[in-house]
Amino acid sequence: MSDPRVELGFNTPFAEQIVFFRQKLNLPTERWDDIMRAAHDRAFIVAGAMKADLLADLNTAVGTAITEGKSIGWFRDNFKAIVKKHGWTGWTGEGTPAGEAWRTRVIYQTNLSTSYAAGRYTQLTDPELLKLRPYWRYKHADGVANPRLQHVAWNGLTLPHDHPFWQTHFPPNGWGCHCSVSAVSKREFQKAEAGGLAEPPAGWDAIDEKTGAPQGIAKGFDYAPGASVADELRILVAAKADQLPKPLSQAFSGAADPVLDNRGMLEKALERISAEIAEQPVEHLAVVDGQGVELVRQVGTGSMVQLSNDALAKLGDAVLIHNHPGIPQSFSIDDVHLAVWHRLQESHVVDRLYHYAIARPAGAAWGPEFWSATLAPVISRVESDVVKRLDAAESAGLISAETRAALTDHMIWEEVNAEVNIGYHRTLRKTDGQ
């Protein structure tokens, strides 16, 4: 039997990577540096791509490459087809095989590496992992043909996860950079101290006047992908719209503004309801529309709410939020069944520590047929596998019964989401004390 300590861990498929990429808004740009650093957390750009439908198709191709692990050859074929379909000409790299290979490699590798890094950042900052491994180690990729000397010098550097170094040096740190970060224990940090690898080298934060970034980091790469928490997308949209030709500016703003307005109202409503119900001793449930207007509010008994027929009739395209009293616990299978079967737009669960969410992807045909033919078989297989692994871990004394109960559903949905996109993610709840 395989070692449960290896299989348990935090090495889930990169559901966080997929979530990070899918939340981006398509943004027309003339140059790659029209937006910089953490603004890339919120926007998908391909320099020179100014048409909304062109950007949408490129976004779909990159997203498929990320979620399905497609090769660069597959992406190049799709890129050529998309460029031809939309009649896009004059783009950098066009006209020669070497130029086209370079351009497609930059688009492909940069989006995969930054989304990977953002997914890793989410995993590395998980409170459960930070309790066990609160230090991060920089790792230079082995086998790189032309290694950057500064990146090699940082190899093995081990620092607290909240050290300022990571705010600017979290990889990737340039075009084609394959460096990575791993979480390590206090014992490993003490070994690094003994080896002189627990302090950044002198001058690590000195700025290169040519790039505006610290030495060794390429222009625009001095940030941690996915670490930005303040949503500055509206400012970004307004600034970009001012730079576009008037017809495109109006179309871009007109498409973005309603989405941003409605999303803002919905998020405020969810935040308010979350604060009201998260720590209630019995289950509470609310249903709101896409603008956050409350449609249903019910209180259950213990850990269950029995929805009325009137409430069930209001679920289509709505957003549901309810709490799980007691230990931290993600969606039950019944929760997800309800969301998919009744075609909710989103469903949320809150407990005393976390906020969990699933969201129907654009164009996805949720409903009874999708549940029965597509999702239920995957859930059944993943649930069986996760339960076996957690059984082994509990039997080996690696986790307690309470930890096992808290982990089970979260692990199931992370692994299901890696196969069938249900928009699952978990975030630490914001409370008054934070």
Q: Output the tens digit of pLDDT for each of the chain's 434 residues.
A: 333 323 333 223 345 555 555 555 555 544 444 434 444 445 565 655 656 677 677 878 887 777 777 788 888 998 999 888 888 888 777 888 888 888 888 787 777 776 766 667 777 777 777 888 899 999 887 656 677 888 888 999 999 998 999 888 888 787 777 788 888 899 999 999 999 999 998 888 888 888 788 888 887 676 665 554 334 444 444 554 555 555 555 555 555 555 445 666 788 889 899 999 998 999 999 999 888 889 999 998 877 888 888 889 999 989 999 999 988 899 999 999 999 999 999 999 999 889 999 988 766 789 999 999 999 999 999 999 999 998 888 898 888 888 888 889 999 998 898 888 888 888 887 655 44
pLDDT at 5: 29
pLDDT at 262: 60
The whole-angstrom distance between residue 41's C-alpha and the CA centroid of its chain comes to 9
CA–CA distance, 62 with 31 (Å, rounded to integer): 19
pLDDT at 433: 46
Question: 116-119 long-range contacts, Cβ below 8 Å, gap at least 24?
Answer: 116/14, 116/17, 117/170, 117/171, 117/172, 117/180, 117/224, 117/225, 117/226, 118/16, 118/17, 118/20, 118/41, 118/225, 118/226, 118/227, 119/14, 119/15, 119/16, 119/17, 119/18, 119/19, 119/20, 119/226
Report whether 329 contacts 411 (CB < 8 A).
no
pLDDT at 210: 84
Residue ranges per structural domain of the chain: 4-235, 245-428
CA–CA distance, 118 with 124 (Å, rounded to integer): 10
Task: Report which of 240, 206, 203, 201 is spatially closest to residue 222, judged by C-alpha positions.
Answer: 206
**CB count in 10 Å sphere of residue 358:** 23
